[in-house]
Each structure stands twice: as structure tokens, then as C-alpha cells.
Structure 1
Amino acid sequence: MEKWLKDILPIMDVEHDCILSKQGDITIAFKVQLPEIFTGSGDDFEAWHQGFIKAIRVLPKESVFHKQDWFFKSSYKPDTANNNASYLTKSSDRYFDGRPYLEHDCYIMLTKKASGRKPSSSVFSNLIRPTLVPEQTISAVVLQEFEDSAGQFQKILSDCGIHLSRLRNEEIISQRRRSGLIERYLFLADTPDKLLIKDLELKNGLKVGESHCQLYTLAGSDDLPALCGSRINYDKYSTDRTKFSIGFASHLGLLLPCNHIYNQFVVVGDAQATIKKFESKRLRLQSLAAYSRENAISRDAVNEFLNEAISLQRLPVKAHFNILAWSENKDELKEVKNLVTSAFAQMDATAKQETAGAAQIFWAGIPGNASDLPLNDTFDTFAEQACCFLNLETNYRSDPPGEGIRFCDRLSAKPVFVDLYDRPRKVGWSSNLGTLVCGTSGGGKSMTVNHILRTLYDQGAHCVVMDIGGSYRGLCELAKGYYFQYEEKSPIRFNPFYLPEGQTLDTEKKESLKSLLVALWKQEHEHFNRSEYVALSNSLQGYYRFLEQHKSVFPCFNSFYEYLQTHYTEELKSYNVKDRDFDLDNFLYVLMPFYKGGEFDYLLNAEDNLDLLNQSFVVIELDNIKDHPILMPVIVLSLVEMFISKMRKLQGQRKVLVIDEAWKAITKAGTAEFIKYAYKTFRKFNAIPIVITQELDDLISSPIVKDAIVANADIKILMDMRKFVNKFDKLQDVLGMSEKGKSILLSVNKDNREIFIDIGGQVTKVYKNELCPQEYYAYTTEGKERVKVLEYAQKYGSMEKGIAYLTQEMAS
């Protein structure tokens, strides 16, 4: 027999952000923000579990806690609004477009039953027998008291990290172009934007529109697991020395890969009346115990229940849990059944497939109709045990695409954007921008940093990379940056004396040039006195005045050297400066190799690529000179001077300095103090220092890394560390990592391209660094692949075209 939904719908109205049922029940609904999956420790799960217990205990008697977790199959849709997106961004958007994942929404409904309301059952469901509205529904006092309890409930959960936001009228009932919560449930709409009315069929099974539904319940004490808790081990991510925690009911949530709704009901009655009822039952069973062993066993069970309730001050409740799963393809229902029963088995529980009572249980799941849950489908327990079956985890949350780095979540490899630098500082997770990247060879360090650099560059950052190994050449060419590499035929050339038009010699530039000249002149153990310092300052000041007067003179080391030989020599004579105060002849002799005709005359006399200040991507490959006693210090000092100039003059722009495996050579070159300076002061200038290392001993034994880098790097990106599991304690101590961080880090699997990110010790999470083919070939460090990429780039005229043809060829 057909009926119109409006005639049998148990909801009378939605007013003052409350759902009012036709039987007088009042319901307040919340949208819930749960913790992210795979990020909790055993202590976290216990805290969340206790939070729910405390929250349920503040609810008034004769109320119902109804938690509803919605899981819908969905597909990723990239944000394509930016028409100026880079080649790699567009390529990755195409690659991830349509990536399947499970969307999750969570709601909590708190229902106050109408006073004098008869207990519901499968026979007396309001699906079958609608009733009139009692007086409570229009009582302002009752509503205010219940709202006060709901406010306490919300505050308790918020204090333990589970955030609730009250649903408003327009979110509960449908609007002109948007479906509300009630209609979404009745028509199984995966998003509020889909407003489509569907037929409900209850005759031959439950059917909503084209969706064939199955209902599985956990509603009897015989079906429950022998033991339950706030967490269980997740063997996939555990090791011999660490146990990885997930929620006890997580297998009924995101780990159940089908369309489903997980309904969790906890009915809070009159505790004293419940205990009195069980006392009567115990006495009755006591008198019958002599006639049947079953009666004796039941008596003992009731007695244990009463003892626990009284001695431990437990709150007796009735509980019911069900999974509503569906598929538009009827042939898939067998697979869905296998998935659901297997998920229950992971908890050591037994699922019951409902047939006769499925319609009434489905009807009780309507937001605002929880009071109509058939009590014959509930079991008696305590709040502590009931809360073990609550789903406590949700999907990874994503920052806005324009503010974060694109990684993927662990579960379905759905793209999520991670803001490593701005948001963590705003919310207090981190206090600096220092970044440490550590992992074994082949673990994906350079790939990860390439990806971070490319994203920051696309967002407007200036990037400077000191590299040993050529890991950033492809990205540099794509960014049309400057790539400096020492070769005999084409050595590295700089010109630290060049000033772009409109700029003048400031104190910082002068100090940088003095440091460079001293490094060229003196060895580390040689003394540098005050008179020499003054003489160098005066020489630079005079040289730039000379340039202003002689516009035809090109600023470089050659012209500076000639200025010293002529004009400055005369100036020193006029001041009667002695050799012991400043030995100009010795200075000119030592620096002669850098003057034209000398061994290193190319080094400081570049005539092209001069404006490094405004060049937003610069890579210096140091592999061929890392052990050179002269070239290495000069080049490093030139780089340092260039980056500090960017840092101070490009105000409002982000600057990034990457030192990839070059930090050892740099510290040998006498710039250890610069690394310390970088990590301590860069944040003041919106600059990010990133240091990459692969040796575990580097972190433990090097005072530079330990005291300067690790101590001032709030962002730590670590790769697969399972090979160090037996000597992890020292590393854990140096990194200041908690036991929670340790168990999450040791779950990283490099075969899945996973990386571990720690932000200020407050957020520890594992992501997949999955790349599209175009990104992979732009970042690859594999020898044969890198050669092939460079060949294609040369053949087709640019790195972008080369990668495009190569990926097209590899896909065919």
C-alpha cells in the first residue's frame, strides 16, 4: 500500500534549530569534526573514549544519544579555477581527477524523549502508528534545560579534541536548492547539493530509489565481542617493537570500503529504575535457579552487572549499533555483505542481517526520531562499554590548494593539501620555519623536496638550492631559473660586486663583500685586525664612489683590483698607512689568481646572469668542487651573500634556501655559523631554511646538525626508518620525538612512497608523496631516467616539451 511520506513522517517541524517530532521529542543536532585516521596513539583513543563517557553522563534521563557516520563513495575533483597554473600543476590535476575515495560526514543528534512516552518497539513504531503532539514540545522551560545539557555535552567533547558545531534550521530541512539532513538520510543523498526526491520501498527488502539497501545490526548480547576497548592494534602498520593504534570500531568506518551509514544509539534511561528492575530480575532468577542451569547462569550474570554498576558507579544504558549499506547494482550486494560481516569479525563481533525489523530500525535512524528505536533491538550495557563501539576517526583534512603542498592520504591516496608553514604558526603548532629532511638513500628525500620547492615556487617564493648530485636540474629548467655547475669548459661564474640599477651600497652588502675578501685573503687560523677591517671598508666605499663617477667602468672584481692598484694605493699613501696596519701588496698578491689572467679569473667577473636578486629560482651544483680549498669557500660565501640580500630586500615575498647533502661541505668551508644564523633568524624575514641529510649518525654526532638544525627545525620530514628500528632510541632522543611519533614514524613504508611529517611535535602524520608522471620525470634522480629526460629536453627544445613527449611515449 502506497503512502505519502508527509503523512507518516515522524517529524512535525524544525524550529529554533531543534527538530520536533510528532510524539513530542526534542532533538538538537551537531556536525562533528573527528580526529584524523591513523594519527592517534593509545592515550589519545583513551582520552576520546573517556570524553564521550563524560559527555553522555551529563545528558538528562530519558534521552537518546544518536551518532550517525555517513560514508559515501566519491571521486576527487581538482580546483581548476586557476587558469595560470603551471605545467606540472595542470598535469597533476589531470592525473588525480576522478581518484576514488570514501567521503565521511559525522553527525550527533541528542534527543529528549517526551515525558510519559511509551517505550517503542518493532510493533509500536511510529512508522505504523502516528501519534499526537504532547505538551512538552511547546514548553520553553523544558527546551532551555535540554539546551543547557547539550551545551555541556558539546564543551566536554571540545575539551578532548572532538569539535561540534550546532546545525541550524536551514541545514536540517531542505531549502530551495539544497537538501537538509533529514531528506539526505531518507533519500541517501551523498551531498547536500543533490536535492532529488526518491521512492521508499519496504515490501521486498529496503529500497531507496535505485539503491538496494541491507541493514546489519549489533543488537544482542550474544553477538558482542568477549572484550572491547577504546583501541585495537592495526597490524598493517605495526612492527615488532611498536603497536599502531586505531579505534575499536574503525573497521566499521573508513576501513569499510562501501556506501554505508553507521548508526550508533545509546539510550539513557532512569539509572535507579534500571537497577531496581535488575534487582527484581535477580531475585526472580534466584528463585528459579534450582530448576535450570541456564537460570543460575543468568542470575550470576545479572548479579555481576549489578555489582559493577554499584561498586564502580557505572551508568546503565541501552545500546544499539547498525550498518545501513547499499548499492545501485543488486549483484554487488553479496560483496557488500562479505565486507560488512568481515568488518564486524575484525572486532570479534557477529553481525545480524535484519529483514523483518529493518524498516523500523531504518525509520528510527531519521534525524530526530531516535526515540522510536525499538527497545527489543537494544542490549543492556554500561556507557563505558557502549562508547567502545563509537567511530572516532575521519578522513585527513585538507588546507586550501593555494596555501599548501599537495600530498595524498594513506587510505585511498586522495590528494590533500598540507600547509607546512603559515597555518601551523598561526595556531601555535610551530614557532619557526626551519625544516629538516632525513632519510636513507633512495627513500625519496630529493623527490619530496623537489615537490615542496615546485609548489612554493608556484606560490611566488624565491628558491635557492645548494646541491650535490644534480637533483634539481629538471625543475630549474622548467622554472627557467639559473643553474650553476662547475665544468672545466664552463666554470661557475659570479659577480658579487654588481649592483642592479637603482641600488646603492648598503651596510649589509658591504659586510658581505668584506667577508668574501677576507676569506680570499686569509686562512681560518690567520689573524684579521681592526686596521685591516677599516682599510677594506674604505676600499669598498671608495670603489663604489669611483664607479658613480666613471659610468663606463663595469663593476666586477677586475675593476675593483685595478682600483686598488691605482687610486686606493695613492689614498693609503696620503694617510701614511704602514704595511703592518694594512699590507696592500700582500693583499693584491694573494688575490691575483682571481684577477684577469689568473687561475680563477672567471670566478668573480661574470658578465651575464648578474641579477640573481630578482631571479626566483637558482640552483648551484657543488659536486665537482665540494673538496676544493679555494673555489668551495668563495662560491658558498657568494651564495650566502646573495641569499641574505634576497632575504632582506624582497620584503613580503617568501624565500627558500635548500641545502641538499651539501651541508657537510659547507661547514668545512667555514660557514657553520651561517647555518646556525639561518635557522635562528630566517623566520623574521619570511625565509625557509631546508637542510637534507641521509645519515642517521649525522643527526646524532654532528653538533651543527644537532644544536643548530634539529633544535630550530619545527618541521621535520622523515622517510622510512624501519632499518633503524633496533637503534631508534638515540634518534628519538635527538629529535625529541614522543612514543606516539615513534610508532607513527616506524609505520612508514617507502614502497608506498610514504613520508612522515612532524610539525612542532603537535601534529605527526604520514602522507603519500604520489606524483603524476610529468612530476616524476621532472624530479627524478635515477641516472638513466635523468639522462633520458635531458636528451628529450634537448631534442624538443625545452624541458616542458621533452617531459611531455617522454610521458606520452611511456604511456603508449
Structure 2
Amino acid sequence: MSHLLLPSATLEQKQPIYKVESGCLISKNADVTVAYRLELPEIFTLSPSEYEALHAVFVKAIRLLPLHTVVHKQDWFVEDQYAPGFGEERSLLSRSYERHFFERPFLHHTCFLFLTKTASGRENWNSLSTLLSRSKIVPKEMMEEKRLTTFFNAVSQFVRLLADAGISFTQLTDADLCGTETTTGLLEKYLALDLRDVAPLVDLDFSEGLHVGSKVCQCYSLGNLDDLPQHLETDVRYEKLSTDRTPFAVGFAAPVGLLLGCNHIYNQYLFVDDHHKTLKTFEKKRDNLNALALYSRQNAIHKEFYDLYLNQAVSEQKLSVRAHANVLVWCEQEGDPKQLRDLTSSAIAQMNCKPRENTVDIGALFWAGIPGNAGDFPSEETFYTFAEQACCLWNVETNYRSSPSPFGIKLSDRISGKPVHVDLSDAPMKTGLITNRNKFVLGPSGSGKSFFTNGLVRQYHEQGTHVLLVDTGNSYKGLCELKKGVYFTYEEHNPISFNPFYVVGKPDVEKRESLKTLLVTLWKREDERVSQSEYVSLSTALTHYYLLLSTTPRVRASFNTFYEFLQQEFKAYLATEKVREKDFDLDNFLYVLRPFYRGGEYDYLLNSDKDLNLIQESFIVFELDNIKDHPILFPVVTLIIMDTFLAKMRQLKGVRKMILIEEAWKAIAKAGMAEYIKYLFKTVRKFFGEAIVVTQEVDDIIGNPIVKDTILNNSDCKILLDQRKFLNRFDDIQQLMGLTEKEKAQVLSINLDNRPGAKYKEVFISLGGRVSKVYGVEVSLEEYVTYTTEETEKMRLFQKVDSGLDMPSAIRSTAQELREAG
């Protein structure tokens, strides 16, 4: 028995695009298409009301289009891998972070929109009419210029309307569509199902289903009313991130968008036919069904449906359209088609739709999906509805986008964990989202707060920021050691020690003022008043002391030498000037400050033998855990901290500065330092700086007026970690921090749907109450070792340092041990 072998058709003969000119695709049916690339809102960032508003804009835009226009929205979701940047200038932790995410898989989303003006109505255009099936193609005469002008004007209005709603458009050029000598155009990319810039030419096989090169394709359509739910919504409740109190919304089509974890294209079609002609046709069908209603109850029911449709179209002025959506999925030949089928069917079922696989007609649907060929879509695959319902089928979300700003930090995408570049400071200031760079961080113990703040500080420092940290828990000891920073802490054998009298050059007015404040704090009780004559005497003493230092190089600046200067030279000066004891009691002053002089109880505190210029030190940590309740040491240390940062603010012009105060802010606020904190939070933005306060107790916020009136009001960036411990009291937190219902839902969704097997925590970030997202905080093992607050793990690291290893080597060694231990 012989077989008749038919010759294969060439793609050049069959492909439906006649010409690409001036950014327009012209098909062999004389259809004209304008193509755009769209930037949609990011997933998990919209509230139900925002979905409704976006949907209303889509419907309004559809109404602008002339008759016989086809809207084809094509969303590509292609498996990709994260490609990190390894630069020589990168630090140990930065390189380890990039290595940790090397080739992390994720779905790359690209959205295209094709607006097609057909040469005629296509209500009855079936599969046999398409350019794929017809043997002879006779191009129709091009439409008259007036119709095209009307169409292009409508397209401009369509684009402007959606752009005003926050969706950015980029019109595709001839090179984007057709390619160049070195790059592949979108037409070829689609026919190869490959979005790479250099996509290979492949064969198309329609004999058994659809094979595109080595890819095995399946198609599932939403083109039948029986397959759709009774009601279409703009958004649906996403159970995985919802709680009993807070529903979490995603778009209606999200299950077949980013939440469908395989290679796929989601095609959405909307056909603007002659509305009045459609209604007349339905009136005739309704009359026929009415006449036959006595013979069949089914006819009576269908007649009622037509009545309902026609009544809504007339009374509510709704636009009658045809719609269709389909999901084209594919895998390589060695893949598992059954797994792909199960995955896609499940996704469609989550939309309360019936999954219907296209087998015989997959070729026609694939062919109609060619950019610019939407006019060739077979009408039997569409259903009649209104524009409102048709737009519910549209995918309206995309991946988290990285900020184009050169400054920022790396956090993780919520679905795949892919790194995302996030700017919390500069870009939001420029766009007006925030008016200051200050941040407030709230996270209970164990929520991953230390890992987030360590990562934030580390990345800011690597980008040139001067960092000053005030801590009560050794959270930053590893990072400080790695950065060769200055670490101040109090231990019995190594007590905390400064030299506030050391300055480079002459002390400026602010330095002298801070030294006077320090001396007054040591001398007087909080409730004691300082007289004007006492203040003038201290000012004179400091002026003469620094004059002595400038003329006597052998005298070293310290509290000891200042004390000795007061005992001798300054005592003689007061006698000469006949300063009375009641104006300035020098003996009392010397007696009260005697404990801080050589041989006294606190002689170590202000006489450090290290001449550190703290203004030029870029990484400083003050660890106050052991002295936060000390009545003498704590006030002195906090004064020195504030003096150091205020000096940095004013002297380091054009240098970014950050002060991060952990739980120590509670003690600082109680020690008469409230005015410092108020001043700091209100003025730091003027000096290219930011203040960050970190706390873990809700009562600290609710019960402290400093936080409520100063810190929260002057922190436009609010950062919250897992709040499930405070679930019963979260309404108070929401009210105090001014969180919207959307932000509340986002906060309470933290860590509800973390990827199985991955070790990370999530964090909520709100910028000015206008933009808010939840990110993952995932770190490499090297970062984990550096940031951890677990005592045993910190001991293991510092034992290696004590044994002679430098900090980078100790971190690598400890991380490798953890890696080998699994």
C-alpha cells in the first residue's frame, strides 16, 4: 500500500503579514495593527478598589475604539534564570549573595498589546476563512485614509487614557517587529515561541496537535459561555495570603498569569463589532425563540437570556462585544505533557472556569495569535458579552520590577525569590512619594528583623554611606568586624572609652557647644539650672584650653589634660579676672568631675588613648546593653553618640549618612535626650541623611509620646515584619501607623505562603502610605553567619577570629561548615 506524501508548505507562503511599515503591521487581509509593549502594575500590590478602577479605565478605553477593531493582549510568561553580576569591586557578602541566587528560576513576564483595524466585519469569519487554510490569498484594497485616521486617533486616546491610569506604553518599532541583521523580531520570536534576541528558526508541525521545533504545545481556551462562571469579577480572594480578618486580592486572571508556573502565553481577545447590528440580530433570535417557547422549555429559558442581555445593553448603555481568551502552554519533548495538562487545568479551575483543551483547532488559535493577525481569529471560538465582562478576563499584573535608581538594596520577589533592586531613599524622594528618608522598623523577636537591618546597613555602607549604629544586643558585631569599623562596648576587662576632646584642627562652634553640654551633664543634675556666668566660664575654659594645645604640641588632647589645665592655668586666669566663686565655683566643678580624671572611678571613659576621628570613620557601632541603666555612663555615652552624628551631618558635605537606633532608643528617650531625637528626625533630611528606629514591642509605640509625635510622624518609610504575635492588637497598630486596609492585608499576609524548603522571612515596606509591597529577605550562608544573633553561632565565628583567622576567612570557613552539615 503506497502513501501519498504531500509537500510541506513554506512559512513564507503562509505567514499572514504582508508588510511592516511606520510601526504598523499590515496583514494580507489589509488589516492594520499598532503594537505596544506594556508595563502593568506589580502583583500583590493592588487593592480591590484599585482593581475596580483599573478595570473601569479598560472599559472606558474600549469604548473609544471604532467599529471592527480587535484588541489582542498577549502576555508571555517564559521560564528564565537570574543572571547575577560578579564584579571585582564587590564585597565578600555581596558576591556571596549573588552566588546564592545564581540561576534562580523565575517566570519572565512580557506584555504586548495589538490594536487591529480590520477591513470589514468578521462576525462570521470561521476557521476555514483564515489565511492558514486558504490556498489563494487575494489582498483586499486598503481602507480609505479617513478610516485609518479615525483609527489612529482612537488608538492615541486609548493609550493616553491607560497611561494616565499608571500603565506605561512603548510602541514597537519596525525593528522590534521584524528584527535586524543581528536580532530577531517579535514575529519570528512568536513563531519560534522564543523571546530571546536571537531566536532560532524552527519548523511548525500541525499534523498531530502543535509542535514548534522541539516544543510540544497544548492550548486551553475560554471561548464558550458554558465554560465560564455565572459572574466575572475584577479580582478574587487569594486564599494562600488571606486571613480570617483580611481578604487578600489578586486579579481574576492571575491563576493563568504569574501564578501558573510554566512556559505559557495568555492571549486575550476583544472584538468591537457593530453594536447596533448585533442587537438587531439578537432581537430576531429572541423573537424566534419566543415563537418556539411553547414547544420547548429550553427555548423559553434562552429567550429570557436574550431579553436580559438586550435589556442591559439598552438600559445601562453597555457595549456589546465578542471575547475569547486562551492559554498556550509548552514544554520540551522530554518534558511531561500530563503534568503540564494538570497544572494548566488546575489554574483554570481556580478561576471557576471549566478547562477545555483545544486539539483540532489549536493550529487556528496559534495562527491567529501571530502579532497583527488577530483579525484572522475564527468567530466560532468567541462568545458575545459586554465590554465590562470581557475585560475581567484580562491579566493586569506583572512581576516585581527593579528600580532604575543606581542606589538601593536587594530584596527578593515574593513568588520566585528572584533578587529585586529596591530604592527606599532617593527615587521616592525625587518622585514625591516621601518627604524624608527616615525609617521606622517594627518586628517582634524572631521575625527576621536583624537580618533585614544588617542587610540594609551593609548595602548602604557599600554604596558610600557613613553608618552609625546604636545597639543593645550585639546584632552588628560581625558586620562591624568585617567592615573594619569602630565598635564601642562596655566590658569589665575592656570598658567603653572615648576621647571627645580630640579634634582635627580647631574645634568649631558646634564642637565647643557639644563639649559644654557634656561637661554640664557631668557636673549638674538634671533638675539643676546652669547660670549664664557658669556657661560663659566653661566656654572661656574650652577656648583657652584649645589655644594651649595649638601652642604646646606635646600636650595631648584628653579629659585628663583639660582637668589639669583647669587646676593650673585656668585657676590662675580666674584669679586674674577676679571671677567670684558664686559666678563660677571651680573647686566644686573639679570635685564633681574628679571621678573622670586619672585614678578616678571612671577615668577610662573620656581618656581613650586612640585618637579616633569619629567624623571620618564610616562604620561605628555603640553597643549599650551593659550600660543602658547606668545613671552616669549612659547619659555621657548618648551625648557622645549624638555629638558624633550631628558633627557628621554638618561636616560631611555630599556624603550620605545614616543613624540606626535599635532598642536603645527607649533608654535614650528617658535620659533627657528627647529633644535630640526630635531635632534629629526633623532636620536629618536636610543633610543627606536618614534616621532609622527599630523596635520590637507594640507597647513602646503606643505608650511613648516621642515615638507617636516625632519618630512616626517624621518617618515616611514604615517597615513591618511578621505581626502575627500582635494579631489581636493589630487594629491599634494600624490606627497609630496610619495603615490602609490594603496595607493591613499585606502586613498580615507576611510569611503565610513562603516557598517550601526555602529559608527566608518576609518584610512589608510602605513608602509615604502610597506605595507598599511585601518582599522576601533571603540571604546567603556567608551573610547568615555574619548577621546571626544566635549565641552559639556567633561564638563559633568569633572563636575562629580569636584563633588567628581574619574575619572574611572566618566567615567563609563557618559558612562552609554549615553548607556541609546541610
Q: 1:332-351 counterparts in 2 under 5 A?
A: 332-351=336-355
- Counterpart in the other structure of 1:626: 628
Conserved? CA contact 1:482–1:609, under 8 Å: no
Looking at structure 2, the residues matched to 406 and 116 of structure 1 have their Cα atoms a distance apart, in angstroms, of: 51
* Counterpart AA for 1:755: V
Which consecutive unaligned segments of at least 5 residues does structure 2 have?
A: 1-6, 755-759
* Counterpart AA for 1:348: N
Looking at structure 1, the residues matched to 365 and 44 of structure 2 have their Cα atoms a distance apart, in angstroms, of: 31
Q: 1:302-381 counterparts in 2 under 5 A?
A: 302-381=306-385
- Counterpart in the other structure of 2:431: 427
Q: Give the Å deviation of 1:726.
A: 2.4
SS at match of 2:630: coil
Q: Give the Å deviation of 1:523.
A: 1.2
Cα pair distance change 1:609/1:452, threshold 3 Å: farther
Of 240, 248, 258 in structure 1, the residue corresponding to residue 252 of structure 2 is 248
- Counterpart in the other structure of 1:197: 201
Q: 1:70-109 counterparts in 2 under 5 A?
A: 70-80=76-86, 82-109=87-114
Conserved? CA contact 2:123–2:273, under 8 Å: no
Looking at structure 2, the residues matched to 13 and 120 of structure 1 have their Cα atoms a distance apart, in angstroms, of: 22
- Counterpart in the other structure of 1:669: 671
Find out whether 1:801 has 2:805 as its counterpart.
no
Q: Give the Å deviation of 1:400.
A: 4.8
Conserved? CA contact 1:398–1:417, under 8 Å: yes
Q: Give the Å deviation of 1:575.
A: 2.2
Find out whether 1:229 has 2:242 as its counterpart.
no
SS at match of 1:551: coil
Looking at structure 2, the residues matched to 84 and 727 of structure 1 have their Cα atoms a distance apart, in angstroms, of: 46
Q: Which moved more, 1:645-654 or 1:419-428?
A: 645-654
Q: Give the Å deviation of 1:357.
A: 1.2
Q: 1:114-125 counterparts in 2 under 5 A?
A: 114-115=119-120, 119-125=124-130
Conserved? CA contact 1:795–1:802, under 8 Å: no
Looking at structure 2, the residues matched to 677 and 445 of structure 1 have their Cα atoms a distance apart, in angstroms, of: 26
Looking at structure 2, the residues matched to 118 and 576 of structure 1 have their Cα atoms a distance apart, in angstroms, of: 108
Q: Deviations over 1:327-375 (max 9, x none)?
A: 0135411111111111110011012111111111111101100011100
* Counterpart AA for 2:200: L
Find out whether 1:301 has 2:305 as its counterpart.
yes
- Counterpart in the other structure of 1:18: 24
Looking at structure 2, the residues matched to 369 and 683 of structure 1 have their Cα atoms a distance apart, in angstroms, of: 54
TM-score, normalization by structure 2: 0.96
* Counterpart AA for 1:435: K
Conserved? CA contact 2:405–2:427, under 8 Å: no
* Counterpart AA for 2:789: T
SS at match of 1:59: coil
Looking at structure 1, the residues matched to 302 and 534 of structure 2 have their Cα atoms a distance apart, in angstroms, of: 98
SS at match of 2:170: strand
Conserved? CA contact 2:72–2:269, under 8 Å: yes
Looking at structure 2, the residues matched to 648 and 803 of structure 1 have their Cα atoms a distance apart, in angstroms, of: 36
Q: Deviations over 1:159-211 (max 9, x none)?
A: 222222211221111112222221111111133x2231111111111111111
Looking at structure 2, the residues matched to 101 and 609 of structure 1 have their Cα atoms a distance apart, in angstroms, of: 52
Q: 1:732-771 counterparts in 2 under 5 A?
A: 732-749=734-751, 752-771=760-779
- Counterpart in the other structure of 1:440: 444
SS at match of 2:789: coil
Looking at structure 2, the residues matched to 671 and 449 of structure 1 have their Cα atoms a distance apart, in angstroms, of: 24
Conserved? CA contact 1:405–1:452, under 8 Å: yes
Cα pair distance change 1:341/1:116, threshold 3 Å: closer
Q: Which moved more, 1:654-663 or 1:164-173?
A: 164-173
- Counterpart in the other structure of 2:640: 638
* Counterpart AA for 1:801: S
- Counterpart in the other structure of 1:653: 655
Of 578, 585, 588 in structure 1, the residue corresponding to residue 587 of structure 2 is 585
Q: Give the Å deviation of 1:725.
A: 2.3
Of 179, 184, 196 in structure 2, the residue corresponding to residue 179 of structure 1 is 184
Cα pair distance change 1:473/1:121, threshold 3 Å: same
SS at match of 1:624: coil
Find out whether 1:499 has 2:498 as its counterpart.
no
Find out whether 1:534 has 2:542 as its counterpart.
no
Cα pair distance change 1:264/1:157, threshold 3 Å: same
TM-score, normalization by structure 1: 0.98
Looking at structure 2, the residues matched to 119 and 677 of structure 1 have their Cα atoms a distance apart, in angstroms, of: 73
- Counterpart in the other structure of 2:67: 61
- Counterpart in the other structure of 2:410: 406
- Counterpart in the other structure of 2:137: 131
- Counterpart in the other structure of 1:706: 708
- Counterpart in the other structure of 1:3: 9
Conserved? CA contact 2:122–2:379, under 8 Å: no
Q: Give the Å deviation of 1:793.
A: 2.5
> Equivalent pairs: percent with the same residue?
48
- Counterpart in the other structure of 2:697: 695
SS at match of 2:434: coil
How many residue pairs match? The answer is 807
Q: Give the Å deviation of 1:132.
A: 3.1
Find out whether 1:45 has 2:74 as its counterpart.
no
Q: Deviations over 1:763-807 (max 9, x none)?
A: 111011011100011000012111112112223522211111111
Of 35, 39, 51 in structure 2, the residue corresponding to residue 33 of structure 1 is 39
Conserved? CA contact 2:722–2:748, under 8 Å: yes
SS at match of 1:623: coil
- Counterpart in the other structure of 1:418: 422
Looking at structure 2, the residues matched to 329 and 8 of structure 1 have their Cα atoms a distance apart, in angstroms, of: 25
* Counterpart AA for 2:790: E
Looking at structure 2, the residues matched to 344 and 688 of structure 1 have their Cα atoms a distance apart, in angstroms, of: 47
* Counterpart AA for 1:805: S
Looking at structure 2, the residues matched to 142 and 649 of structure 1 have their Cα atoms a distance apart, in angstroms, of: 66
Of 682, 685, 688 in structure 1, the residue corresponding to residue 687 of structure 2 is 685
Of 774, 783, 793 in structure 1, the residue corresponding to residue 791 of structure 2 is 783
Looking at structure 2, the residues matched to 594 and 522 of structure 1 have their Cα atoms a distance apart, in angstroms, of: 14
Looking at structure 1, the residues matched to 408 and 149 of structure 2 have their Cα atoms a distance apart, in angstroms, of: 43
Find out whether 1:474 has 2:478 as its counterpart.
yes
Looking at structure 2, the residues matched to 486 and 61 of structure 1 have their Cα atoms a distance apart, in angstroms, of: 79
Q: Deviations over 1:610-666 (max 9, x none)?
A: 122211111111111111111111111111111111121111111111111101111
- Counterpart in the other structure of 1:565: 567
- Counterpart in the other structure of 1:458: 462
* Counterpart AA for 1:72: V
Cα pair distance change 1:693/1:430, threshold 3 Å: same
Q: Which moved more, 1:213-222 or 1:119-128?
A: 119-128
Which consecutive unaligned segments of at least 5 residues does structure 1 have?
A: none
Conserved? CA contact 1:793–1:803, under 8 Å: no
